[in-house]
Amino acid sequence: MIDQANSVSAPGSCAAPRTLALAEANDRHRRRYLWAIGAIAALGTVLLPFARLPLPAVPEFNIVYVTGVLFGDLATAFLLFAQFRASGRASLIVLGAAYLFTATIVIPHLLYFSEFAPRVGWFAGAPQTAAWLWHAWHLAFPLSVLGYVAVERWGGELSFRRRAMPLGITVAGVVALSFGLTLAFTAFEGHLPQLHDGRVWNPITFQLGWTMGLATVAALVGVMTLPNRHRVLHLWLSVALVAFLFDIVPNMIALERFAFGWYAGRVSGLLAATFLFVMLLRETSSLYVSLGAALDEAADLNVALERRVDERTAELRALNTSLDGAVKQRDLLLSEVYHRVNNNLQGVSSMLLMESKRLGEGPGCAAMLRMARRARAMGLVHQQIMGSNQLDSVDLHRLLHDLARNLRDSLGMDNRGLVLDVEADAMTADIDFAMSIGLIVNELVSNAVEHAYEGRPSGRVVIGLRRENGMLRLEVADDGVGIKAAPEGLGSRIVAGLVAQANGRQETFEEGGTRRCFLFPTSGGAV
Amino acid sequence: MSDISVLIVEDEFILAMSMEEDLIDRGYFVTGVAASASDAVDLARRTRPDVILMDIRLKGEADGVDAAQQIHAGQYGSKIIFVTASREPATLERIEKDHPAAVLFKPVAPEEVDRRIRSVLEVS
């Protein structure tokens, strides 16, 4: 906040300052400035010869004049102080003080001129009070502007936190000064030189007038020779000073109250007091107009942007829908493929079964049945994957139970008094790993049933699948006659090959039967 | 046991043949093999089997569930055992709505088929 305020008011740091008092004039401003200054100077000069023309005394005219000055100067002071708060330019506080002083000093001037002031004590006032107050203000204003020029030229800026206090001190000081001067011009009026004799001015006012006029010209030159004289504020301040000059000069020529010069000077003074305020107000309204236009433009841009966002959203939604459709299509296709593979495997196992029946008891028949079981085990894995949501994982727990049911039937275990149990943790795996597990279990259980229970009336085979220390432990245990009964055959080679394919290790124990354990890394596809 | 009659509804010829052969070996009477839903309904109406082994995917537009609904509507007295390769939730939901006697998932061992037929008919 502080930095922002400083950077805005830093000289030359910003092409378009946001504070009105620092705005640069454009060609239109300069044209208006030349017109205004030319018109006032020309009209003032042309009317100067008529300054002494006596006119009827209308003291109420002074009320209008002072009211206008009071309003114009107070408003200008307020505006300049606000600009100071915004920009931190120390010079603005001086210029604001000049206007505030005028605004405060005109009040006692009017009161004593119109004899409204209470005639009591030190403030009783006297005939010269109003005149002295008028001279004080017409001298103080150009001198204050000179002060402004000096501070503008050599002064700096105040940081945001340090702006309130100087402002408060300035306002209080200006009010106190006006109060003090009023007191001086009332209580000590008798000690001061006589400025006028009721209606006609004494020669001393001529000397005072010269001083005021020279101070005004000096202030004008000071403003017009500032390095940043092209600021809008300085153009309008110059115009106000020219008008102020034509408040003083006709009075000096008229040397009499209620002469034409007296009236003309007050008209010009009114102009001087209100000109800056009106022009700054004008700038403010044109700022608002351009702000409105900018806001309209921003609103249009916003609408266009929103439309673009809507379009883009619709495009994305359409794309999303088509992607969704593509995924569904893919799932459908995959499901169809698995379905066909499953059916074909069932077909293969069916044909092998039919063939085995035609062969009759013997090694050929046994081989056919083994092949049929292998094909069915592979089919079971495919059947499991169709049941999964993503078509990419197999429920191993369910696979082992389904496989066990199939093996019980196809190996005729029930008829031989053999039990097949499954003790498996809940887990899933990808199809390759599941296929290995299915085929390994199929081989081992088949092997156990075919060779481990010869001459035994009953037995129990257990399939175990457990998570163990981050590994997967598959176990097929029987309580049969031992491993020596099992001949080395295709089944053993299939098991060894599949275990190696899944990066597993094989351990075999014999303790009242055969227990074969396999450890697989879980990175092998099991979850 | 020859008093149990079975209708096989299966569009895969080899599976149908294998199933038929196995059932005959086990002493069942196979009333026919249908490959489409309309054939299945027609055969069920004409042969009134005790049990129908019903595949889901069949030749033609209608599937096994459609056929089962028509057969139930006809009140031919047949118990329907679905034999399906699909585990799609949508399909399973449709099967459940038909209140099937049993559901078997392919690949299925002949012994399992035998056992289910007996349990559905409550014979030993």
Quick check: B96 contacting A, CB < 8 Å?
A: no
Q: What is the pLDDT of residues A299-358, one digit of tens each?
A: 999 999 999 999 999 999 999 999 999 988 888 888 888 888 888 888 898 899 889 988
Q: What is the pLDDT of residues B1-58, one digit of tens each?
A: 458 999 999 988 888 999 999 999 999 999 999 999 999 999 999 999 999 999 998 8
- Angle at alpha carbon of residue A200, lines to A199 and A205, rounded to 5°: 120
Which comes out higher in pLDDT, residue A160 or A131?
A131
**Pair type for strands B29-34 and A471-478:** unpaired
pLDDT band, very low/low/confident/very high, at A121 (cuts 50, 70, 90): low
Residue A459 has pLDDT above 80, yes or no: yes
User: B105: which chain A residues are within 8 Å (Cβ-Cβ)?
Assistant: 383, 402
Beta-carbon separation of B106 and A351 below 8 A: no
Quick check: B93 contacting A, CB < 8 Å?
A: no
pLDDT band, very low/low/confident/very high, at A7 (cuts 50, 70, 90): very low
Beta-carbon separation of A335 and B112 below 8 A: no
What does the pLDDT read at residue A6? 40
Quick check: B15 contacting A, CB < 8 Å?
A: yes
Question: Can you spell out the DSSP letters for A381-446?
Answer: HHHHHHHSSSSS-EEHHHHHHHHHHHHHHHTTTGGGTEEEEEEE---EE-HHHHHHHHHHHHHHHH
> So what's the ipTM on this one?
0.80
User: A376: which chain B residues are within 8 Å (Cβ-Cβ)?
Assistant: 107, 109
What does the pLDDT read at residue A119? 64
Question: Can you spell out the DSSP letters for chain B?
Answer: -TT-EEEEE-S-HHHHHHHHHHHHHTT-EEEEEESBHHHHHHHHHHH--SEEEEESS-BSS--HHHHHHHHHHHT---EEEEEES---HHHHHHHHHT--SEEEESS--HHHHHHHHHHHHT--
Beta-carbon separation of B106 and A387 below 8 A: no
Quick check: B24 contacting A, CB < 8 Å?
A: no
Q: What is the pLDDT of residues A471-519, one digit of tens each?
A: 899 999 998 887 665 566 888 888 988 998 888 988 877 777 888 899 9
Find the CB nearest A383 among B19, B105, B110: B105
Q: What is the pLDDT of residues A288-299, one digit of tens each?
A: 888 889 999 999
Quick check: A410 contacting B, CB < 8 Å?
A: yes
Quick check: A153 contacting B, CB < 8 Å?
A: no
> In 3D, which of A406, A412, A527 has the Cα closest to residue A463?
A406
A43: amino acid identity, one letter: L
Query: How distant is the Cα of B98 from the closest Cα of chain A, in angstroms?
Result: 20
User: Are the C-beta atoms of residues A66 and A269 closer than 8 Å to each other?
Assistant: no
User: B109: which chain A residues are within 8 Å (Cβ-Cβ)?
Assistant: 376, 405-406, 409-410
Residue A377 has pLDDT above 60, yes or no: yes
| Percent of chain B topping pLDDT 90 | 54
Find the CB nearest A409 among B14, B88, B112: B112
What does the pLDDT read at residue A116? 67
What is the spatial distance between Cα A166 and Cα A144, in angstroms, rounded to a whole number? 16
User: B8: which chain A residues are within 8 Å (Cβ-Cβ)?
Assistant: none
Residue A11 has pLDDT above 90, yes or no: no
Residue A464 has pLDDT above 90, yes or no: yes
pLDDT band, very low/low/confident/very high, at A8 (cuts 50, 70, 90): very low
